[in-house]
Amino acid sequence: MPANLTSRQFRECFPVLADTVHLASCSQGALSGELLTALSEMTFTMREHAAPWDLWMAEVDQARRRFAALVNADPDEIAVVHCASDGAYQVASTKDWSKRPGIVTTDMEFPSLGHVWVAQQARGARVTHVPERDAAVDVGELVAAIDERTGLVSVPIATYRNGARMPVREAVDKAHEVGARVFVDAYQAAGVLPVDVRALDCDYLVSGALKYLLGLPGVAFLYARGGLADDLPPQLTGWFGRVDPFRFDPRTVDYPTEARRFETGTPGIPAVYGANAGMRLLSRVDLHDVERHVGELATLATERLLAAGERVWAPRDGAHPGPQVALVDDDPDALAAHLSARRIATAPRGTVLRLSFHYFNDESDVDAACSAIADYRAKNRGDAGAAHP
């Protein structure tokens, strides 16, 4: 078996980095040579085979298996869906909220999922939002919100807002103690942090391919723990959600017992090729090495920014920063544009500019970003900070 790639070797897989600093993986992963090749392969199948469904279905199956391996699941526990929202909706639609109406979520939830939970109020659910405090969620408050009337708890591994790690394990323990299920968002973790559904002991987990998994928008993966029974069948369905999709029987709606019951129509095939490209690359690294690497870069960037008088929105308890740094600013879009003009890609959101790190980043990227930010401040004295996000 070949040795794992070092960060330097991994960086060489991204030709775009020759003239670009990519610090936007929390929004969209960097373009790799592997991804370019995969998209060429997909268009080649269309040119040579016109309607290459067998080849495309093999790619879908490979993506299912690769994601399963990434999160330590069985392939039968993975549904291939179009986006995280679809995955959340499919899970929510199978719940009879009259039995256990409580949904516990947080203000650190990504709206794509949070809106799905709030929308369940029309079906009788009661949503509790645990507030953000000091750039994180208080473990005690989250656990206290979970009780015998709770049906579902939703918590991200790392929040999109500032990369802070969330108390997933504590939420799972309390939820299972009272008979509730847990939905975990791994979108800001999978690809740069080790994710193990067995260790998390969660009931559901979702992640998509376009961020740290180094793929494209248009495909996501929903883990549903084997053996889980639904109150109701998924309310959105399609031919991929059948026991045998290629039976082509318009009169029979039969749901497989495995996670494929949550699937609907044809996945975005270009995105599936992209997902396989990204996960192939990630299969060549040790994610524990990746976690250490991105943590060190995030810590270095935080220290450099604080020393320069910047404000970083992060938990005050010294918790692991996750793969990103959230820089507070009055106009993060303008700051991002300044950096973009210097070919430094970042991700502004709200009142913060997010600098996110992957295994391909190195200290030179931190240097370039900090230098460009200092240059921006020198040109815009008096615009250094903003109110708390």
Q: Which of 169, 265, 162 is nearest to 219 (CA)?
A: 265
What's the domain range around 362?
A: 7-30+286-382
Instruction: Give the pLDDT confidence score for residue 361 in this predicted structure.
Output: 98
Beta carbons within 8 Å of 185's beta carbon, 6+ residues apart: 84, 109, 110, 113, 154, 155, 156, 157, 205, 206, 207
A 10 A CB-CB count for 177 gives 11
Q: What is the model's pTM? A: 0.95
Cβ(178)–Cβ(162) below 8 Å: no
Residue 387 lies inside a defined structural domain of this protein: no
- Tell whether 227 and 301 lie within a shared domain: no
Distance CA 183, CA 201 (A): 10
Task: Tell me which of 231, 248, 282 is where a domain ends.
Answer: 282
What's the pLDDT at 197? Answer: 98
Residues 179 and 294 grouped into a single domain: no
Residue 250 burial (CB count, 10 A): 6
Are 215 and 342 in the same domain?
Answer: no
Give residue 161's identity as a one-letter amino acid code. R
**Residues 179, 100 within the same domain:** yes
pLDDT at 382: 52
Q: How far apart are CA 77 and CA 260, in angstroms?
A: 8
Q: What are 253-290's pLDDT values in tens digits? A: 999 999 999 999 999 999 999 999 999 999 999 999 99
Residue 184: half-sphere exposure toward Cβ, Cα within 13 Å: 30
In contact, 143 and 166? CB cutoff 8 Å: no
Last residue of a domain, one of 240, 266, 282: 282
Co-location of 141 and 167 in the same domain: yes
Q: Which stretch of 89-103, 186-200, 370-384 has the lowest confidence by average pLDDT?
A: 370-384
What is the per-residue pLDDT for 1? 57
Considering its fold, how many domains does the chain have in total?
2
| CA dist., res. 267 & res. 265, Å (int) | 6
Q: What is the mean pLDDT of residues 289-303?
A: 96
Measured distance CA(281)–CA(6) in Å, rounded: 12
When pLDDT is cut at 50, 70 and 90, the band that residue 388 belongs to is very low
pLDDT band at 172 (very low <50, low <70, confident <90, very high): very high
What angle do the packed helices 84-93 and 111-119 form, to 10 degrees? 20
Place of tokens 């995969």: 38
Same-domain pairing of 307 and 203? no
Q: What is the CATH number of the domain that holds 297?
A: 3.90.1150.10
